[in-house]
Each structure stands twice: as structure tokens, then as C-alpha cells.
Amino acid sequence: MYRLLIVDDEEMITDGLYETLTGCGLDLDLCKAYSGREALNWLHRTRVDIVLSDIRMPGIDGMQLLSIIKRNWPHCRLIFLTGYSDFDSVYRAIQTPDVQYLLKSEGYPKVIQAVGQAVAELDDSLRVNDLIQQAQEKLKTLEVLARGEYFRHLLHGANPAPSLAADFRKLNIPLEADRPVYVAQGDLFHASSTVSSYANRHESAMAVMLLAESLLKGQARSLGMIDRFGDPVWLIQESTDRADGNEAEEGASVLPYLVGQFELIQQACLKSLDLSVAVTLGNRPSDWMKLSSTYDKMRRQRQTRTGDGALMVQTVNLEASCCTKQRSPRDKSDALSAHLDAGRRDEFLLVFDELTESERDNGAPYLLELYYTISLVLLSYINRWELENQVSGVSALMRRDEFVSWKEAFSFLRTTAKTLFELRSSGESNRAAEAILKVRAYIEEHLDEDLSLVRLAGYIHFNPSYLSRLFKQECGVNLSDYIETARIERAKELLRNDELKVLEVGFRVGYEASQSFSRFFKKAMGVTPQEYREASRM
């Protein structure tokens, strides 16, 4: 879903465009602003894909917005809509890539056509087969392999050497050793239900990794790698050439840009690779000396995702205290631990069966080592998430002698693992239901306020597109339709009470202009608010 921002200092024009585009059939998340300054606040809070703006406005005008948008959101399309014959502004607009120009007198059909064209251009920009081909060629270079090995070394516990800057120069790393770095982790969800091979999974992770590097260019420098669990990881620094000190840029942050770009990356992966990608992103840059602990904390945070996590961009508060993640034994347990932590049930059971079936011919000492290796992976997970009261027979994990045969012992471990995956799945579902109940309660209590997707997402601490998807998944209706229904029901209730004027009823359900409220109500009910009131008296 693309996000479109309508900007005009004339309230009736803004509201009219909003209502028209709401019912035009395009899958858009609509936002509106009544000034350039208010539009700037939106652009600093969230990713915006299309801006429909007047050129001449008091304070920050359309051309100033154009400059800011092109610097901060390079993939954004801009449509200028104006009633002025301003040749200079029009000339500058049409000379800028990804900008359209319309006269207000051309009418709503022309606006809808222009927005549709912008949506089509955005779709085309996310079809990145050429980028993937370039990425696959780049993977063959020794330089890329050396970089990945170097940073895996740092991520998994090695302290950065005093020669960090020299290492960066030697490996041609496009990051600065004296500046902190944002860390982002990806988690892949294949659309196919079949278990992918290690080679296919690794190839997918590398395609996602390098695709993301291409789309992060602009405000950020980035470097991707694959960690020892087979997941893509990105190290990102804010570009040093970003303008600062500009009064119009006050409050700007690179974090909303990263969240927005990773949403675009998710859409590109879905369209081009048939992959859903969840992203975990640190809320602030980390010092190089703390890189390993930051990485471990973010992997731990992935366990508390709400819902299935697909297409989610989850930010992690790196300042909050967090207990140190227990490390599992490396020998034979890395793959199991990675799949268990990531919730990949089928992959876990496949590796488990390969280990336990292929090693039956070994002697008892080796089988005993294998049993306790797997037991430690399971027990570590149970202890970290305090599940001992929800899993039967936990004590037997460290008592091999309770089983009469190796077959019975490994069968117990397999059953325990399946129980852990079931508990994880039910926990995700419960957290999803609780989050949506919280959103619904907020909507009911704030019907007279801005209930844009961006604001609701900020309240629940999700990214907007994930909240929209999760709400539809849990409630069976679109979030915008739910809000509209709630406002209609509240308006009907208030209209049956003669104490409030129609204008005041509109205020109570979020409409400051009486004309906008009347159009909204009649569209839903077929009669005006006053006609409904009179009919309810009969």
C-alpha cells in the first residue's frame, strides 16, 4: 500500500480531494495537511510515496516541499495542483523527474488519472530484476566475501581492533570507523509452503541484502552481509552530505527514512522475489564497540513480534535494559537454534530428523552427546522465555536414562520442540489480538481526532503498512472502513439527541467543516444528517 499526502491551504479543496481519492478504487493510505509546515511534519514522521500539493501556500510552499522531498524521500512522486498561472514554478516543476503538474480547473478525473500514473510508476520502480542480476554478479567478488566474513566476526563477539579504520580502507568498506552505525536484521518468509534448501535460502537472503543496499542509497550508506544464522544484516550510517541547519528541516531524523525505505524493500521483495521480509531495526545508531551486544539484543527482540511478523518493520529500543542472551553450543546446534529462534518449524524438524536419523549408527557416547546438544538448545529456549510451566517433562531433558531406547529419547525431544513452536504461534496470535483490541479502544475514544493510519501506527508502535495488514487479518475489514463505520454509528447516536447541532455532531466525529460531514454522512446513509434527525423523531 502506498501512502499519499494531500497538501493545500484551502480546507475545502483538501477535504474534497481526500473524499474523492478515498472512493477512487486505488489502494492508498491517505493523509492530509492544510499547510506546508503540517506537510513537513508528516514527511518527518513517516514514509510518503505520493504528494499531491498546491504550489503557492503561505510559509513553506510547494517548491520548498519539492526540494525537501527529493532530498529525503527520493522515490516519492509529486503532483502539483494549482490555480495560478505561475510560469516559473511550473517550468521548474516539469523539469524535475517524477513530478507532474495539473491545473485545479482540470477536475477530479484528471487528478485520479495522475495519481494512478504515479502508482504505476512506483510499481515499476519496485520491479528490480536488473538490480538483482547486478547483485548476483557482485556476490562473486572476493571483496564482498571478505567484507561479510569480517563483519560476521564482529557481530558474533569479536571486539573491534584499534585498526578498525585501516581495516575499512583495506576492504573498501563504505562506512566510517569513527561514526556509530544503525543495525537492521531481516527475516525471510517464503511464499511457498515447501521447505527451501540451504542454497536457495542463502541465495534469497543475499538477493534481499543487496536489493536493500540499492534502495537505501540517498540519505544513507549501507553494507549488507549474511550472519551465521543465514539471515541478512545491514549496517547503515546517515549520509554525511545531508543538509543540516535548515529551518525547514527542523526535527528531521534518519530513522523514519529507514523505516520507510525498508517498507519499500519489503514490497520489492514480495513483487520480485515472492518473499515476505520482516525487519528488526535499532532505534538509534550503535557504537562499533557495542556492535555485538546490539546485534544479540535485536535477535532477542525478534521473539516478541506481534502476529506472524511478515512485512513488519520492528524498531528496538536499544537504551532499554535487557538480559544477556544465552549462547547455545555451536557444534551441531547452530542451525537448530537459529530455526527455533526464528520460528521456522519445518526447517527445524528437517534438520532435527537429519541429525537424529543419520547418527543412529554411531556409538552410545556420540548419541549421548547429540541428545544433550539438542536438549540444551530446547532448554535454553524454555528458560529464556520462562516456559517451564507450559511444557511437560522439562526435567527429562537432562535425564537421558529415563528413556529405554534412543528412539524414545529422540522422539521426546522432537515432541518437546513441536510444543515450543505451538506455544510461540499461540503467543503471536494472542499478542496480535491484544494489540488490535487496543487500537479499537483508541479509535472509539478519539473519533473526534485525527485517526490516520500513521497516527494509529505511532500509538501502537508498529509501522503503518503492518498495522493495516494485521487489522484486516484480525478483524476481517479494512481499518479505514472500520473507522468510517464507527464514526457513522456515533453520528447517528448523537443525531438522535436534539441537544447538539449538526455542526457540533460533525466535530464529535472528526469533521471540522459541516460540508464535509454532510457529504460523508449522506454517502454512507443516503440522507443528510438533518434528514436523518427528522426521520428518527417519527
Ordered per-residue pLDDT tens for the chain, 538 residues: 899 999 999 998 999 999 999 888 898 999 999 999 999 999 998 999 999 999 888 999 888 998 899 888 888 999 998 775 565 666 565 566 778 888 888 889 999 999 999 999 998 887 765 666 666 666 555 567 777 788 887 886 666 777 889 989 888 888 999 999 999 999 888 766 555 677 788 888 888 988 888 888 777 889 988 888 888 999 999 877 654 545 444 445 788 889 999 999 999 998 888 888 999 999 999 999 889 888 888 887 877 777 777 788 988 888 864 444 333 335 457 778 888 988 889 889 988 888 887 656 567 888 888 899 999 999 999 999 889 999 988 999 999 999 999 999 999 999 999 999 999 988 888 889 999 999 999 999 999 998 999 999 989 989 999 999 999 999 999 999 999 999 999 999 999 987 889 999 999 999 988 888 999 999 999 999 999 998 887 7
Report angle CA 264, 268, 272 to the nearest 5 degrees. 180
312 touches 174 (CB < 8 A): no
d(CA 504, CA 269) in angstroms, rounded, equals 47
Structure confidence at residue 138 (pLDDT): 61
CA 494 to mean position of chain CA atoms: 38
CA 149 to mean position of chain CA atoms: 28
**CA distance readout (Å), 13 to 3, 53, 92, 428:** 19, 11, 24, 43
Structure confidence at residue 469 (pLDDT): 92
331 touches 269 (CB < 8 A): no
Structure confidence at residue 369 (pLDDT): 86
DSSP 140-163: TSHHHHHHHHHHHHHHTTPPPPTT
Query: Are 129-316 and 446-537 equal in CATH topology?
Result: no
Break the chain into its structural domains and give their ranges.
2-125, 129-316, 334-419, 446-537
CATH code of the domain occupying 2-125: 3.40.50.2300
DSSP state of 396: G
Report angle CA 324, 325, 330 to the nearest 5 degrees. 135
CA 158 to mean position of chain CA atoms: 30
- Under CATH, domain 446-537 is a member of which superfamily? Homeodomain-like (1.10.10.60)
pTM: 0.63
Structure confidence at residue 513 (pLDDT): 83
- The domain 129-316 is placed in CATH, from the list 1.20.1250.20, 2.70.98.40, 3.30.70.270, 3.40.50.970, at 3.30.70.270
What long-range pairs does 484-490 form, CB within 8 A, spacing at least 24?
484/520, 484/524, 486/443, 486/444, 486/447, 487/447, 487/520, 488/521, 488/524, 488/525, 490/447
